Chain A
Amino acid sequence: MPQKLIIIGAGMAPGRLLDHLMADAPEAYDVTLFNAEPRGTYNRLMLSPVLSGEKTYADIVTHDDAWYATHGVTCRFGEKVLAIDPVTKIVTGEKGTVAYDKLVIATGSAPFIIPLPGHDASGVMAYRDLEDTERMISLAQTPNAKAVVIGGGVLGLEAAAGMAARGIQVTVVHNATHVMNRQLDLTAGDLLKSDLEARGIAVLCNANSSQILSDDTGHVRALQMEDGTELPCDLLVMAVGIRPTTALAKEGGLQVNRGVIVDAHMQTSASDVYALGECTEHDGEVFGLVAPLYDQAAVLAKTLTQTPAQFVPKQLSTKLKVTGCDLFSAGDFADADDRELIVFHDPQRGIYKRLVIQDHKIIGAVMYGDTADGAWFYHHMNQGTDISSMRDQLIFGAGFDADLTSLPHSAIGGGPAPEKVAEPLSQMTKLKGAA
């Protein structure tokens, strides 16, 4: 007799959880899936290519109606969950209550809106879901449309690049020294800025906004900066971070700090209640990138099937999904006394790579322009590989990894092993002529 499993939220993490459950124990649960959005799981990371026009929504759907039907998942899409009761094990949706044996809270996060004066003007928006994406796409219909993006992080730049690709004049306003400052060092950030500018995106760093100006209809007209400059815009996108969505959990009496507190098995403070994804807080950390959430999904699938598993956060890597801006960032790339840097720079080809080494291990990597080896570095970073023997070749990547001891160390050849100059005759230049 299968148990009843309710999942609240159909983002990417619960999507992956379902993949695992259906693969590992398809008969274990009757699943009911609530989603406030009127659709199932799609790859939210791929909204940027949708925005830029390189993909369509259909391309990025990972679980369609047929999939849910095949796997017997009861979908309650477009229905908000109003309350959970961990004591009676009942979830109350807009259309009625459902009892559960196990509950997974995957309510995700909400974008943060800076409370600047005028932030409630129409045309001020975040970049989070398909609707946001469609709104930006529709702006491209307006001739000479202008947009301002506040936030030069991954999401802000992807929004800016997507809109620019659709012909919108975009200005990015960023309050740090360089764009993507949480992932890139200054050199890489400057290379990225140049690349963005080359595609017509204005990038203002060290720029602080003071207020949002509206026209008579209450629609955003411009962003005013602290120095008084006005940046005219028809749309103002804020991409300055997210906040875990925790109201439901909090009201249900679960322990909540910044996010819903979970242990390494993804269990919340209530029995038979689990949490997953951007709504969670584990060991003081909240999450915004997909990789650890997939790890959480895998752990939770195991927990739900009574297989021991623990969630261990790994170093994270980032790529920017802007075609032509090839960058990769992983781990801790900051400079410090006990850290050593290996740097490669090719200004002509716009390539920059920086590896941060500590105790003969890679602890951080930043790459720009050529990220082919990002995964390889990331792999060695997570493996804690001692790179001493490969150090000279390391930054050139897997394709140039060579056993240095087998290479000549001088013009007379030879690595560590003695070799003799007097070669056998067979190896001498063959003498020509009649013999």
Chain B
Amino acid sequence: MSLPCQSDETRSTCPYCGVGCGVLLKPDGQGGLAVRGDPEHPANLGRLCSKGSALGETVGRDGRLLAPQVAGKDTDWDTALDLVAEKFAATVADHGPDSAAFYVSGQLLTEDYYVANKLMKGFIGSANIDTNSRLCMASTVAGHKRAFGTDTVPGTYEDLETADQIVLVGSNLAWCHPVLYQRILAAREKNPALKIIVVDPRRTASCDGADLHLPLKVGTDVALFNGLLTQIAARDAINTDYIEHVNGIEAALKAARADDPSVTGLSQGALDQFYDMWINTPKTVTVFSQGVNQSSSGADKVNAILNCHLATGRIGTKGCGPFSVTGQPNAMGGREVGGLANMLACHLDIDNPDHHAAVSAFWNTDRLSPKLGLKAVDMFEAVGDGRIKALWVIHTNPAVSMPDADKVVAAMKACDFVVVSDITAATDTARLADVLLPAAAWGEKDGTVTNSDRTISRQRPAMSAPTHARADWDILADAGRRMGRLLNWPEAFDFKTPADIFREYADMSRLGTQFGKDFDISALSDLSDADYNSFAPTRWPITEARQGGRFFADGKFFTPSGKANMLPLTYRAPAAKTGKRYPLRLNTGRIRDQWHTMTRTALSPRLSAHLAEPFLEIHPEDAAEAGINHSDLVRVQSPAGTGIFRALITDAVSRGDVFAPMHWTGETAPSARVDALVPPVVDPVSGQPESKAAVVKVTRFAAEWYGFAVSSGTVAPNCDYWARAKTRSGYRLELAGATTPQDWEAEARRMFDLPDASAQVMNDPASGTARLAFYEGSVLKAALFVSKKPVAVMRDYLATLTDTDAPYAIAGVSPADQPDPGPTVCSCFNVGVNTIVDAIETQGLVSVDGVGKALQAGTNCGSCRPEIADLLAKVREAQNETKEAAE
């Protein structure tokens, strides 16, 4: 049993996925944090995944942005924020409110989000604020709203443990929400009847523990769940009582029956098995995530799942229901507070005049945006074509993560004024900023987040922020006050603490209940500073009337009619079509030990060791057809762009599908920004990009050379392919190029910035092999291994050698397991005394010639033959003594 929170520990919440695990933080005295799971947090009950466990390695000051920058030069906050205020005010004055935009992040705390939303929608007067949650959650938001009237997650994490069956749809829960997956596995220990079904085109780690894996064709989920709905009806499994609370079943069924589940590519047997298992197990939770959301029919996929749960009434009761799991720590908080361009706040709607009037009154503004804003993809299109002239990007990396990412980079470059708030200047997006603002980081920040099951938890600071870094709410509020003076709006951003903001937000949330919405935390509107500080994880709603619990078991929904909606849905294929030019379907996703664009996880040596370069999973037959061998590099071309990845040949992907992780960036592997390949196609309902269904052509990348490098310092590669990962004492890199540098030593010295270090050089020009190791004294600073073939060296071993005495690093492998040979006896063949004694003992040698045959010792000049004879005699003597002693 883990210890509860100790007096020297700070309770906070993990900043990665949407599980929202509680963590206990303790400064380690060396600038890092000791991190452990909070045994009392309801999300994780003490568990942590690999990423959460390594959080302590990611909080150092290395690479932090320490001062505001204007045009790349350090400046003070007044100068920077005055410029931001002037530019935004001028743009609004000259071109109207919609010429300004904020692109924010599920990394923001609810308080940050609240101020950003209030500033943009309420006072700048545009709804052009969208969040990277658009890239992961928008389809779920849309699907929930269409079915329930609000963006409501009906169930709780406990349902995963009380269910008899979990269906994972488009979710590699084992890697992306590992703690939830562990909770499910633990529940199965207690309830062996608990079944796990995985619906995923790819065989993922989540399939290892699954009872059934349905490798359906990419994007065919609607057809699968339409097939299920049809069977639910056909087998009389419709819950006739519950269906009283649901509109649209007839139309939904009609559309479902018209659909053809065979487009899934699944056998009838597999389909039947799925239908049987689903229909015959009342306590079924259907967990869905990005495989559902990141699709041009994402909202329809969500509703196809919701249709089945509504038809069977399996919703809002213990152990069953549809369950969206989010990818970011505060995606849910952002949705609640109105961080998306098509929402107002507290799940209220911009285009509802009553909601609009109420929010205007609450904020005391006459500038509240009257219409929906531009969603992420449209927003960056508007940035590109000049409609948006002032853009503020906060804690997100659209230059990497947006579809058609190269175009997004070009758009930001062309934009009149780009502000970026981040904790580091080393992101692809930060490099495009006119003004760069240093923000406080996780571990320093103070506020609240909401996880996937509506639990609001505190993030608390366990360490101080760098002197000039500021909390996002503070930066935004300060900018808001400055803009207000220029644009003459009343004082609206006079927040002193995050608790001030939280109370205002909680107070506002009573509008939710007033307008018949789900979200209401108004019972917290009088929360004292002390109570805010000690606020324990609590599931919303939090009102005088109720706290937490599940939604919809009572059949009451937040639609105008009060009933849920089942939707008539028809399968639509992904927008991009495979064909002769682009024969393969590119799926994308996360890997176990990295998160998003790696700006944080890449700081951790532990996390970086697992899958330390970008790769493309490709089916063995597709690989064979394209002449691709294991460890080759492949060029992946889509209509939008091109990239280079390491080939990982595996039947985990189906024939015709390939998969690439989404994490690598211009900072870590510039050729492998997967979103450069993804077309800017969005779901017409949700505006969410179709990130998992690009079409591509894959060819072998004709590398003239491959390289592996380790370095204690930063490295500046200059070649077609490179990928960098952190090690304990520096970095490791994979490299490759289509043209070979003239002089490897000169190139290596440039790349490692070691002009004067002493070098070891190994050269085999005929085979194209070159190796270099650079030293300061006897300490290894960097090493480069080059070969015409993929380089075969002990990477993990080499990664430990930088900044140590490692004279043989250049050999690329650890020394063979040799015992110390001892002082040399035969100097012709360098045979030591230990080696000889060992051979005499283990091989039973009795003569000098025997030793010579075994070890070559004494077979050249022969001058050591007497010593060998002497050793033979001594060993014999020792053996006799032992024998006598034994007798």
Contact = CB atoms under 8 A, between A and B. Distances in A.
A421 interface: yes
Contacts of A342: 762-764, 769
Contact of A407 (B792, B808, B816): B792
A412 B812 contact: no
B792 A404 contact: yes
A422 interface: yes
A18 to B, nearest CB: 13
B861 A425 contact: no
Nearest to A417: B630
A402 interface: yes
Interface centre among A396, A409, A423 (most CB of B within 10 A): A409
Contact of B649 (A16, A391, A418): A418
B611 A421 contact: yes
Interface stretch (A147-155, A257-265, A346-354): A346-354
A420 B650 contact: yes
Interface stretch (A71-79, A80-88, A166-174, A371-379): A371-379
Interface stretch (B174-182, B356-364, B451-459): B174-182
Contact of B208 (A317, A319, A422): A422
Interface in A91-133: none
B863 A45 contact: yes
A272 interface: no
Nearest to A408: B795
B208 A391 contact: no
Nearest to B863: A43
Interface residues of B, number: 88
B793 interface: yes
B648 A412 contact: yes
B620 interface: yes
A415 B794 CA distance: 12
B763 A343 contact: yes
Contacts of A428: 50, 174, 178, 205, 592
B873 interface: no
Interface centre among B759, B760, B789 (most CB of A within 10 A): B760
B684 interface: no
B88 interface: no
B35 to A, nearest CB: 10
A431 B53 CA distance: 9
B186 interface: yes
B37 interface: yes
Contact of B861 (A290, A348, A407, A408): A290
A345 B2 contact: no
Given A348-B758, A374-B830, A422-B203, A396 B732 contact: no
B515 interface: no
A356 B612 CA distance: 37
B620 A411 contact: no
B828 A432 contact: no
Interface in B762-782: 762-767, 769, 775
Chain A contact-residue range equals 35 or more
A324 interface: no
Q: Give the interface SS of chain B, mostly helix, strand, loop or mixed.
A: loop
Nearest to A398: B816
A399 to B, nearest CB: 5
B815 interface: yes
Contact of A429 (B45, B50, B792): B50
B47 interface: yes
Nearest to B35: A432
A415 B49 CA distance: 29
A354 to B, nearest CB: 10
Contact of B807 (A349, A391, A415): A349
A401 interface: yes
Given A404-B792, A411-B613, A414-B631, A346 B829 contact: no
B862 A418 contact: no
Interface in B830-869: 830, 856, 859-863, 865
Given A341-B766, A412-B612, A400 B856 contact: no
B344 interface: no
Contacts of A423: 205
A374 B48 CA distance: 53
B650 A391 contact: no
A344 B807 CA distance: 13
B769 A392 contact: yes
A396 B808 CA distance: 8
A357 interface: yes
Given A342-B763, A343-B762, A343-B763, A409 B37 contact: no
Contacts of A57: none
B828 A375 contact: yes
B49 A431 contact: yes
B766 A319 contact: no
B204 interface: yes
A410 B789 CA distance: 11
A68 interface: no
Nearest to B860: A291
B856 A379 contact: yes
B861 A43 contact: yes
Interface string B598-631: 0000000000000111010100100000000111
Contact of B813 (A43, A345, A407): A407
A395 interface: yes
Contact of A421 (B612, B613, B615, B789): B615
Given A408-B794, A429-B49, A433-B45, A371 B830 contact: yes
Contacts of B648: 412, 414, 418-419, 421
A60 B862 CA distance: 10
Contacts of B723: 411
A16 B611 CA distance: 61
Interface in A354-376: 357, 371-372, 374-375
B742 interface: no
A409 B790 contact: yes
Nearest to A416: B630
Contacts of A311: none
Contacts of A415: 630-631, 792
Nearest to A321: B827
B6 to A, nearest CB: 15
B475 interface: no
Contacts of B818: 399
Given A340-B766, A431-B178, A424 B208 contact: yes
A421 B617 contact: yes
A133 B320 CA distance: 98
Interface centre among B46, B174, B648 (most CB of A within 10 A): B648
For the complex of A and B, list the 4 residue pairs with the smallest distance between their C-beta atoms, beginning with the closest.
A433-B46, A340-B766, A429-B50, A411-B612
18 contacts: A46-B861, A341-B764, A341-B766, A342-B764, A345-B761, A348-B760, A375-B829, A393-B812, A402-B794, A408-B795, A410-B615, A410-B631, A412-B613, A414-B630, A416-B629, A417-B630, A428-B50, A433-B45
Given A395-B762, A422-B208, A428-B178, 14 more contacts: A16-B862, A43-B863, A291-B860, A341-B764, A343-B762, A344-B763, A348-B758, A392-B769, A400-B813, A402-B794, A408-B792, A412-B648, A434-B47, A435-B47
Interface of B: 1-2, 36-37, 39, 44-50, 53, 174, 178-179, 182, 185-186, 203-205, 207-209, 591-593, 611-613, 615, 617, 620, 629-631, 646, 648-652, 723, 725, 732, 734, 758-767, 769, 775, 787, 789-796, 807-808, 810-813, 815-816, 818, 827-830, 856, 859-863, 865
